[in-house]
């Protein structure tokens, strides 16, 4: 992602999507500023690593405490800049970060401790081996606007506790939250050059990918993810890419109708549907389909749409006019192709410019973009199926593979169906909350990206694994070194038979043949 020389500084503003109010104006970090930030990070990373894991845990625990103490202030900032209801800012942002910190701080010491590697082969019993988990160095993180705190913070805590320095480029739509994260970390004792925030647009992100970072963690669109992967490939820069989804919800004929319909409504409209784990495709058994659709329409019409700061609001605005237009185009195309708009399907200008009514669509098909492309808006498309096999086939008919859910009163059946759905996460009788289970990895297959965040697998993304082996007999020449002699091949055949032949007699004979190797007269 080569960045052209910048002839003049670019500026932009952060807006409140609910009111259009300008919150603050910014100047994009230039390529030179990005390179300088990465250089500073490299200069101090070894010192941060040398502090040791116990000291890093102490510092990050102070960050956790400060975030808990200032939860209301931070949540209000998230609501102001991202638009979501205050309760969602607390639940899906503050809580998620606090719990992710809990997991990382509890796990880091044992995770980073050298791990013994047992040697099963008899010929290797004189050796002692172990695995080391060492930091990459400087991790570049490019984070999205829809979860402006929980996404970068969970990744940053995992990177920092394992000894890395971090350079974060938050979305240009939510830079204030990224800066608040930096404030909290610095107040806790993380050195300023160990965690830095670069404010800017896509060109700033491209400059970060091109800089001398040691790994990039990106959350965003498939198109940008592909460009990052292409830019990283020539120098084998390791990447983690979380690129969104088109998550299916499968409602089997024995599901609880009231519970499943409530889940569908929340799963489709939480954060105005601007969640990579949102329900973007809902498949319902035909025997339940009419009642399910009716229940979803009724519950959707009861939602209170408004400004996130209002205490009664259940769904806030969309982040921008651009995102709203994508939603409109998907709905209008589906309507023209035969889908029924049962509620919603329009803007709500009486509330504000970026508000779109929560929308339920029936009779959608896989020929519509509303079912095949990521919409990222408050839309619940529902279609019927006849058999379990058909439901699984429909769920797997996608270029994405991030998350899915299965709904049934039979837990064993739900788990059986879950094994056949091709996504990184499948929840039975719940949805979205897998992201808040700090022990569970987050990530997907296909165009949903590569790598994982969260959990132990997320921590493993932040380290290089090194194998160290030490021989207990350092003065002993090894039998497999040079000085083979004419009988060496036969001796090795005997050794292989001694270990792997089927019958005891063959193994014994092989052992006797291989013993001659111990009497090698000449070794180089």
Cβ atoms of residues 306 and 316 within 8 Å: yes
Residues 94-98, mean pLDDT to the nearest whole number: 98
CA 31 vs CA 28, 35, 174, 237, 509: distances in Å: 9, 6, 20, 19, 69
Q: Which helix (H) or strand (E) holds 23?
A: strand 22-27
Count of C-beta atoms within a 10 Å radius of residue 313? 23
The whole-angstrom separation of Cα 435 and Cα 413 is 23
Residues 410-427, mean pLDDT to the nearest whole number: 98
The mean pLDDT value of the chain amounts to 95
For strand 463-471 and strand 127-135, is the pairing parallel, antiparallel, or unpaired? antiparallel
Q: Which of 280, 293, 353, 362 is nearest to 323 (CA)?
A: 353
Q: Which of 521, 495, 520 is nearest to 509 (CA)?
A: 495
3 state SS for 371-399: HHCCCCCCEEEEEEECCHHHHHHHHHCCC
pLDDT of residue 521: 60
The whole-angstrom separation of Cα 129 and Cα 119 is 8
Domain 247-437 falls in which CATH fold? Aldehyde Dehydrogenase; Chain A, domain 2 (3.40.309)
The whole-angstrom separation of Cα 189 and Cα 194 is 10
What is the band of 122 on the pLDDT scale with cuts at 50, 70, 90? confident
CA 497 vs CA 485, 492, 501: distances in Å: 20, 9, 5
The whole-angstrom separation of Cα 55 and Cα 57 is 5
Residues 140-158, mean pLDDT to the nearest whole number: 98
Cβ atoms of residues 163 and 139 within 8 Å: no
Residues 135-140, mean pLDDT to the nearest whole number: 98
Q: Is the pLDDT of residue 503 over 60?
A: yes
325 token code pair: 């237009």
The whole-angstrom separation of Cα 144 and Cα 141 is 10
CB burial readout 418-427, b (16+ within 10 A) else e: beebbbbbbb
Q: Which residues neighbour 150 within 8 Å (Cβ) at sequence distance 6 or greater?
A: 92, 93, 96, 97, 100, 435
Residues 87-96, mean pLDDT to the nearest whole number: 98
Residues 247-256, mean pLDDT to the nearest whole number: 98
The whole-angstrom separation of Cα 513 and Cα 5 is 70
What is the band of 520 on the pLDDT scale with cuts at 50, 70, 90? low
What is the band of 66 on the pLDDT scale with cuts at 50, 70, 90? very high
φ/ψ bin of 70: left (φ > 0), alpha (ψ from -120 to 50), beta (otherwise): alpha
The whole-angstrom separation of Cα 504 and Cα 497 is 10
What is the band of 41 on the pLDDT scale with cuts at 50, 70, 90? very high
Q: Is the pLDDT of residue 24 over 90?
A: yes
Cβ atoms of residues 136 and 164 within 8 Å: yes
Q: Where are the beta strands (DSSP E) in 54-126?
A: 115-117
In eight-state DSSP terms, residue 218 is: E
Domain with CATH 3.40.605.10 in the chain: 31-243+456-466
- To which CATH superfamily is domain 31-243+456-466 assigned? Aldehyde Dehydrogenase; Chain A, domain 1 (3.40.605.10)
Q: How far is CA 225 from the centre of its chain?
A: 13
Catalytic residue positions, numbered: 169, 242, 276, 374
pLDDT in tens, 338-365: 999 999 999 999 999 999 999 999 999 9
- Strand, helix or coil at 132? strand
The whole-angstrom separation of Cα 317 and Cα 382 is 23
pTM: 0.95
């Amino acid at each position: 992602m080569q960045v052209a020389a910048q002839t003049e500084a670019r500026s932009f503003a952060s807006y409140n999507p609910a009111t259009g109010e300008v919150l603050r104006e910014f100047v994009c970090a230039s390529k030179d500023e990005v390179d300088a930030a990465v250089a500073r990070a490299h200069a101090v990373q070894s010192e941060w690593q040398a502090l040791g894991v116990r000291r890093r845990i102490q510092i990050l625990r102070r960050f956790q405490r400060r975030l808990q103490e200032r939860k209301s202030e931070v949540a209000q900032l998230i609501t102001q800049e991202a638009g979501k209801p205050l309760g969602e800012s607390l639940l899906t942002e503050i809580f998620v970060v606090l719990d992710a910190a809990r997991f990382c701080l509890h796990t880091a010491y044992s995770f980073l401790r050298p791990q013994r590697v047992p040697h099963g082969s008899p010929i290797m019993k004189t050796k002692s081996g172990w695995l080391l988990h060492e930091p990459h160095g400087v991790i570049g993180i490019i984070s999205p606007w829809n979860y402006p705190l929980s996404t970068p913070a969970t990744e940053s805590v995992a990177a920092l506790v394992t000894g890395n320095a971090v350079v974060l480029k938050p979305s240009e739509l939510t830079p204030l939250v990224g800066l608040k994260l930096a404030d909290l970390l610095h107040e806790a004792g993380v050195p300023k050059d160990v965690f830095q925030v670069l404010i800017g647009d896509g060109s700033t992100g491209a400059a970060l990918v091109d800089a001398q970072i040691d790994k990039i963690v990106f959350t965003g669109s498939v198109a940008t993810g592909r460009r990052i992967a292409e830019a990283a490939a020539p120098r084998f820069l390791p990447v983690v890419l979380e690129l969104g989804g088109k998550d299916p919800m499968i409602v089997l004929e024995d599901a609880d109708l009231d519970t499943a319909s409530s889940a569908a409504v929340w799963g489709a409209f939480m954060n105005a549907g601007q969640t990579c784990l949102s329900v973007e495709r809902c498949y319902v058994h035909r025997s339940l389909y009419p009642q399910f659709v009716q229940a979803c329409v009724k519950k959707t019409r009861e939602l209170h749409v408004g400004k996130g700061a209002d205490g009664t609001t259940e769904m806030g605005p969309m982040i921008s006019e651009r995102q709203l237009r994508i939603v409109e185009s998907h709905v209008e195309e589906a309507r023209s192709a035969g889908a029924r708009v049962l509620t919603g399907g329009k803007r709500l200008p009486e509330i504000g410019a970026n508000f779109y009514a929560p929308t339920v669509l029936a009779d959608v098909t896989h020929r519509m973009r509303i079912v095949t492309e990521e919409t990222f808006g408050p839309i619940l498309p529902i279609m019927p199926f006849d058999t379990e096999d058909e439901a699984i086939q429909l769920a797997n008919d996608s270029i994405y593979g991030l998350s899915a859910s299965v709904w049934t009163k039979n837990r064993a059946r739900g788990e059986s169906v879950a094994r056949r759905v091709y996504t990184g996460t499948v929840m039975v009788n719940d949805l979205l909350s897998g992201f808040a289970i700090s022990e569970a990895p987050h990530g997907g297959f296909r165009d949903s990206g590569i790598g994982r965040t969260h959990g132990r697998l997320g921590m493993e993304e932040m380290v290089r694994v090194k194998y160290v082996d030490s021989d207990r007999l350092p003065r002993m020449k090894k039998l497999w070194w040079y000085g083979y002699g004419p009988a060496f091949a036969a001796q090795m055949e005997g050794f292989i038979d001694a270990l792997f032949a089927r019958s005891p007699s063959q193994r014994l004979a092989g052992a006797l043949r291989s013993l001659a190797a111990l009497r090698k007269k000449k070794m180089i």
